[in-house]
Amino acid sequence: MRVTVYGPLRSATGEKTVTLTFDGGTVEEAITAFVDDYPRAETYLYTPDGQIRVSARFSVNGERVNLGEHCPADAELTVFPAVQGGTDSR
């Protein structure tokens, strides 16, 4: 599987696109495999209590997907890390 990352995730992988060994499964399982291979990505994708950050976004073969959707072994997964910071203008 090819995984393309954006933003601060590049510091975790050292490259924009990396190859990941993944046998297929859900998007969430693919993200778990990605973090297993690139542990520095964990803080960008997971909350301290181990949940995937709600503002993180993923696409498979160019289509935006949810965590429970199927992710084939030969997919191109794109990972957009959680956006943090800013202020509430209310």
What's the whole-model pTM score? 0.88
Contact 71, 30 (CB under 8 A): yes
The helix/strand/coil state of 26 is strand
Per-residue pLDDT, 82: 73
Q: Is the pLDDT of residue 2 over 80?
A: yes
Average pLDDT, integer, range 21-28: 97
Under CATH, what is the fold of the domain 2-80? Ubiquitin-like (UB roll) (3.10.20)
Q: Is the pLDDT of residue 25 over 60?
A: yes
| In the chain, where the domains are located | 2-80
Q: How far apart are CA 10 and CA 17, in angstroms?
A: 9
Q: Is the pLDDT of residue 90 over 70?
A: no
